[in-house]
Every structure is written in C-alpha cells, then in structure tokens.
Structure 1
Amino acid sequence: MANAKLPLHWGLGEANGEIELVEVDTDQLHELDVACGIGVVLYESVRDLSACLAALPSPITFEQATSEDVRELFSMAWQQRNNRDQYRELMAVHQQLRGQWDRLFADNRLTGLLRPTAPISAVPFGDEAMTTAFGEQVAIFGTVIRNTGPGSTAGHPAMTIPAGGGCAGLPVGVSIDGRRGQDDALFALAAEVDARIGVRSPLLP
C-alpha cells in the first residue's frame, strides 16, 4: 500500500472450493471516492428526499425535516441543490470508480473484498469531530467511513461480520464487499468467512 498507516485490504477468491486471500491495492478506489462520493451524496439527498417528502400524505419541506443533529450536514446538501453541472462532473468520476471496481474484481478473479469495517476502533467518549489515531489528529467521520465509502458510493453490496475485540476491548468487525447485483453470492461468502473466524460479538446475548 502507498500509505503504510492504512490497513491491508484483501481480495477473496476461490480455488478448488477453498477461500484464497490475495492482497490488492485499493488506493485508486479511495482517491476516486474522495473525488466524487460526498458531492454525489449531498446533491442526491436533497433531490430524492425532497421528492419523497412532497409525496407524503401531509407534505413537508426539506428544511422542516432536518433535526438539530443533522442540520449542518443537510445545510451543506441544500447549498448543492442547483449545482447540476458539478453533479454531472461528479457522476463522470463515479463511473470511473465503478469501472475501477469492476477491473479490480475481474483482474484478480475476486469473489469479495475483505478489510476492517473501520480503520480505527470506537473513539473515546467526548471526541466529536476529531480524535487521535495513527499518532495524529484525524477527522472522525472521514476516517470511520474510509473503508466502506468506495463500495457504498459505487453501489456494491457489503456485509460486516464480528471479528473479536480491539485493544480497548470494544468489538471490531471485518467488512466484505461483493460484486454489484450478486447479493446472494455475498451472503454465502460472508457466512463461510464468519464460520471460519468463529467469533461472536460480545454485544450479542
């Protein structure tokens, strides 16, 4: 990996009925996601949520639907509502992201992509926007969604399974991304990986 502080990502292939781990480079996936992901989310959230709210039996506006905890995020989204030209540019990058995913799976003959669900464990209580990780201050939101962002933006199905506890004893998980439109194959792969890990979340009874 180009950045040594990032966790390794592994491709999951199958050979002779057995799961095979193949180390893969996902740097470009992350670069493309950073370039388009949040912009697409902000534009589409206003467009789609506004249409949904207007169709309610008692219609409400986008502004009326925002509660205090998400008001800042939705305010950012509202500012993007008329940026159609920028949205088209972002969607061109989005297509590049989807193409890169397809090539990664095809070139490495992958069934899934395995990585930590988040590159850090749960942050200390009281840390709201920033926390200490990798020996430096990092933005919590961007860091926590880093591993799951590219697949979510590209429209790939994903599943997280428990993988034990972190250094503070809090539960951690691993995430598996599958191919688009192959949810059943992802369920089967995740079930097999889960059985091999053999870890039950400490939060479950």
Structure 2
Amino acid sequence: MKRYFQASLLAFLLSAGPALSASDLTELTASEAAKAIADGNMTSLELVEALIDRTGNDAGKAYITFDPDGARAAAKAADSFQKDGAELGPLHGVPIVVKDNIIAEGLPATGGTPALKDWVPSSDAQVLAKLKEAGAILLGKTNLHELAFGITSNNAAFGAVANAYDSSRFAGGSSGGTGAAVGGHLAPAGLGTDTGGSVRIPAALNGVAGLRPSSGRYPQGGIIPISKTRDTAGPLARSVEDLVLIDGIITGTGAALTAADLKTIRIGVPATFNENIDPETDRLMKAAFAAMEAEGVALVPVDTTTIVDLASKIGFPIALWEVKRDLAEFLKDNNTGKSLEDVATQVASPDVKFVFDNLILGDQAIPDEIYETSINDLRPQLQAAYADLFAANKLDAIAFPTTPLPAQPIQGSDMNVTLNGKEVPTFQTFIRNTDPGSNAGIPGLSLPIGLTKDGLPVGLELDGPAYTDRHLLAIGLALESVLPETPRPQRQ
C-alpha cells in the first residue's frame, strides 16, 4: 500500500501541485518522468539538472564518463522538439545511463580496461540506439568490473564502484556502476550486461529491479563481449514498470503489460538455491515468501540438484573459450586499433589479469574438446532439465535469493568473503544462484525485498521458462505491490 500511496502523491504533485524540488525530481521513475515531461509538468532539462546536481562530485563512484554537457544539450533539444508539437517517444527526454561496455556515439567505450580508454566509437550499440529512438537521453557511461570479468566492480584502472547504500561496500558487478547510479537516484534507469549474473547481482545489492532477458531477445551489436552464448544486455530500474517499458522498446513487444493474478501463479522453491544463505537474507526471503503466499501464490518445493550439477560443468568452459574468439573479433570488426593481446597486456585488475594470462591466453586455456562437449552436449541437457522442471511442476517461475549474502566491504573482499562463519570465494559465492539460469539462457528477474539490519538491500530472483520474459515481468508487477518497500538511500 505504501508504494501505491507514493505513486498517488507523485501523480497529484505532477498534475496539480507546486513545482517539484530537485530532490523530488530524482524520486521519479523513468515511466513517471516520461509522463511528467509529456504532460508538460516538467521539462527534460529540469530533470537532467536535478540529476546532475544530485551526482555532484560523486560521479567517480558510479561513472567512467559522466557527460553533463552532452545531457544538457540533448535535453534542450528534446524540449524544443516537444514545443514543435512532434510525436513523442515513450522515453522522450528521460535521462538514462549505460554500462561502459555498451558503445555510445561520441563517448569513450573503455570496457573498464586501460587499452580501450581512448577508443571513441562513431555509433551506438543497437540496444542504446533503440532507447534513443524512443527519446532517451544519455547521462554517461558507468563503471564496471574490468572487461565485465567479476562481481565486485572493484576496478583497478577506474576505481571501485561504491554501493548506493553504503559507500564502504561494493556495488556488485559486473554492472556495478549502473546499479549504483540507479539505486543512488543519479538516474532513473539504465542498461547493464549479464553473462553470469552481472545485471541481477548489482540490482540486488543496490536495491533496484533488474532483468536478464532470455538469450537472444536483445540485439548484441555494439557491446564488448565475453561470450556470444551467454552475454545479454539487460535493464536496471527502480520499478518493474520501467523494466516493462524498456524491455518493450528494445524488443518491439510494446510497453503495456497487465500485472499477473497472483492466485493463479505457481512458483518453485529450490532448496539448493535457498540453503546456506546469510541470516538477514534468510529473514527477508522468508518474509517475502510469506507475503507471496498471503496473496495466493502457490509455493512448491522443487529439486534442482541435476540443474546445479550440469551448470557447474559448463559455465566457465563456454565463457573462457568464447571470449578468446569473440573479443578478438569485436576488437577487429569495430576498428578499435587494439588486438586481444594488446588488451590483455594492459589489464589492470589482478583478478582479471590472472584470468587472461592463465585461463584465456595461457597454458590453462579451455581445450576445444571441452568446449564442444559443453556447448553441444551439456548445455542442451541443462536447458532440457529446466524445461522439465517447469513443465512437470506446472511452474510459472522458481524463486530464490539473488545473492546468498548482501554487499560486502570493498576492501579485503576481492578473493574471499565470510558466509555463516566460513571463508568462501567471493566470485563463486555471489554467482552461485544467478549462474545456472545464465548458462541455460532463461530469463531472470531480481526484485528488491527490503534492507538488512545493517541497512543493506537484498534481492529475490525469479527465473522463468525460456522466452516467457513478459509473463515473468507480469508476475514482477504483481509482486512489487506486495513485497516490502526498499527505502531510498541516505546521501553519504
């Protein structure tokens, strides 16, 4: 009910009340901002200025390239276009951010790595072009884990991304900058990329919603790759309504979507994904499940042992074999002036450096036969196992904590973190629940479900059958109104 009250208050202020303050403007979601601009209650420039003001001197916490002058110029053009009475796109005048492995015309596309810091593409990635065609304005390019090879976004070349709720904690990754910018109200929405959890993890850790679409639904042209099989762009926003809007624009499926009837929804709860999680994460997950059941959702225990086993065998072999080919091809085809070896030589982050030197270009590189078995045999088995799980149990989705624990300190967490009194590897622990669905290419939606006692966000993930993305979003629309509200972060 609280979320509905806030939405009603905003609607009243935008339609009948006095001009909103800059702080009020940064509360707006992308959908609310688009409506306010279209209705003439606010200009694009006013919103852009409010977001620039909120960012202040903290751009380095989320951005690699912050472009306030470019955003102002685009906003002025959008406002002039509107005065001319032209038909407006669904994101007309709305500022967004994109991860800096998604190319944007006229701005550096670093991929978070030193070798590409001076590369300035002359075109937009296909996903960004679609959003710009819908009227979106680009505020800048956000920081990421170097070359998208990690989950902390502690980037040795461009700095660590600070969590929106606690600047001493990491923002998650690899799309940490987008997660921090959206969660910190520096932008209403943005794009990241997801190979093994890189949209959903920062969404969960920064208190926002994030969608990994089914593999192949979004065009990948103009995105610095890891794996053609596993990569996809994905949106992050502070409302599921915004995810619906952005997804509809990118895929051409339309923006309108009706919330699902929760009394008809069956959701599987896999023990393997819901065990050995942080106590506060467990508390918030149990509260979320209770709220879902109270609304009529059927929760069904399911066994995902086979899925977890298959996924563990294929994720790294596919990504590490494909990046050697896919990244080299991208660098050449996009006239970056750099080779794969050039990029690898200049990698700054120790964890990423180790991967390139040993697991991609070194003597521990994935053999062809291992890759062929993974892509042609094991991955189809994994996809079939997921399909069987959903069909046999008549499930709309499965649900679990997006990450087993909330954001951890930036300092000292690169290699290991502590979970339930035991030291565990950071990377493998944080992708534990997101990686299996990524390997199968199914859609995953992370929703915020509240804050821990330490004030850190926790996310609940829903994974659905392949290409049921819009139905998954419809479930998300319905659940958003019954799950606990995640408060706005305090300025740090």
Given the two structures, how large is their TM-score scaled by the length of structure 1? 0.85
2:485 & 2:333 partners in 1: Cα distance?
44
How big is each residue's C-alpha offset from its partner over 1:74-107, in whole Å with a ceiling of 9 and x where there is no partner?
Answer: 3322346672111111221111111111111111
Letter aligned with residue 74 of structure 1: F
> Does residue 89 of structure 1 match 2:378?
no
Equivalences for residues 54-203 of structure 1 within 5 A: 54-66=332-344, 67-69=347-349, 70-75=352-357, 76-79=359-362, 83-91=367-375, 92-126=377-411, 127-200=413-486, 202-203=488-489
> Counterpart amino acid of 1:77?
I
Q: Contact 1:163 / 1:201 at 8 angstroms: preserved in 2?
A: no
Offset of residue 60 of structure 1: 1.8
Contact in 1 for aligned 2:310/2:382 (Cα 8 Å): yes
The Cα shift of 1:141 comes to 0.5
* Cα distance in 2 for residues equivalent to 1:112 and 1:135: 31
Change in 2 beyond 3 A, CA 1:3/1:51: closer
Write the distance in 2 (CA, Å) between the matches of 1:141 and 1:38: 12
Q: Is the contact between residue 360 and residue 366 of structure 2 (CA under 8 Å) also seen in structure 1?
A: no
Greater mean deviation of Cα atoms: 144-153 or 29-38? 29-38
Contact 2:320 2:366 in 1 (8 A): no
* Secondary structure class of the residue paired with 2:481: helix
Please list, as runs of the form range in 1=range in 2, the aligned pairs for 1:42-61 lying within 5 A after superposition.
42-61=320-339
Distance (Å, rounded) in 2 between the aligned partners of 1:2 and 1:188 = 26
Letter of the 1:174 counterpart:
L
Partner Cα distance (2:431, 2:380) in 1: 20
Establish whether residue 21 from structure 1 lines up as the match of residue 294 from structure 2. no
CA distances 1:20-78 after superposition (whole Å, capped 9, x unpaired): 21121222221111111111111112221111111012442112234312222233223
Equivalent-residue separation in structure 2 for 1:134 and 1:111 (angstroms): 31
Residue type of the alignment partner of 1:46: K
Gap regions ≥5 residues in structure 1: none
Aligned ranges 1:30-45 → 2 under 5 Å: 30-45=308-323
Q: Which has the higher contact order (CA 8 A, sep 6+)?
A: 1
User: Shift of residue 204 of structure 1?
Assistant: 8.9
Describe the shift of the 1:5–1:175 C-alpha distance in structure 2 as closer, same or farther (beyond 3 A): closer
> How far is the alpha carbon of 1:3 from its aligned partner?
9.4
Give the number of the structure whose alpha-carbon radius of gyration is greater. Answer: 2
* 33-42 or 1-10, which deviates more: 1-10
Change (3 A) 1:167 1:73: farther
Question: 2:17 is matched with which residue?
Answer: none
* In 2, Cα distance between equivalents of 1:58 and 1:137: 41
Given that 2:402 and 2:446 are in contact with CA atoms closer than 8 Å, whether structure 1 keeps it comes out as yes
Q: Would the aligned equivalents of 1:160 and 1:175 in 2 still touch at CA under 8 Å?
A: yes
Secondary structure of the residue aligned to 1:197 is coil
Paired residues of 2:401 and 2:460 also in contact (CA < 8 A): yes
Which segment drifts farther, 65-74 or 128-137?
Answer: 65-74
Contact 2:444 2:464 in 1 (8 A): yes
What is the identity, as a one-letter code, of the residue corresponding to 1:90? S
Segment of structure 1 superposing worse, 88-97 or 136-145 = 88-97
d(CA) in 1 for partners of 2:274, 2:435: 19
Aligned residues with identical type, % of pairs: 28
TM-score w.r.t. the length of structure 2 is: 0.38
Give the 3 Å change call, closer, same or farther, for CA 3–113 of structure 1 in structure 2. closer
Return 73-82 or 133-142, whichever deviates more.
73-82
Amino acid across the alignment from 1:190: G
Q: CA deviation at 1:4?
A: 8.6
Change (3 A) 1:59 1:180: farther
Structure 1 residues 201 and 175: CA distance shift in structure 2, 3 A: farther
Q: Distance in 2 between matches of 1:120 and 1:25?
A: 22
Closer/same/farther in 2, CA of residues 45 and 58 from structure 1, 3 Å limit: closer
RMSD over aligned CA atoms reads 2.8
Inter-partner Cα distance in structure 2 for 1:57 and 1:89: 33
State the distance in 2 between where 1:26 and 1:82 align.
27
- Decide whether the 8 Å contact of 1:5 with 1:134 is kept in 2: no
User: How far apart in 1 are the matches of 2:463 and 2:490?
Assistant: 23
- Specify the alignment match of 2:262 in structure 1: none
Q: Is the 8 A contact 1:46 1:81 kept in 2?
A: no
Which range moved further: 66-75 or 171-180? Answer: 66-75
Aligned length: 200
Q: Which runs of 5+ in 2 are unaligned?
A: 1-270, 290-294
Indicate the SS of the match to 1:39: helix
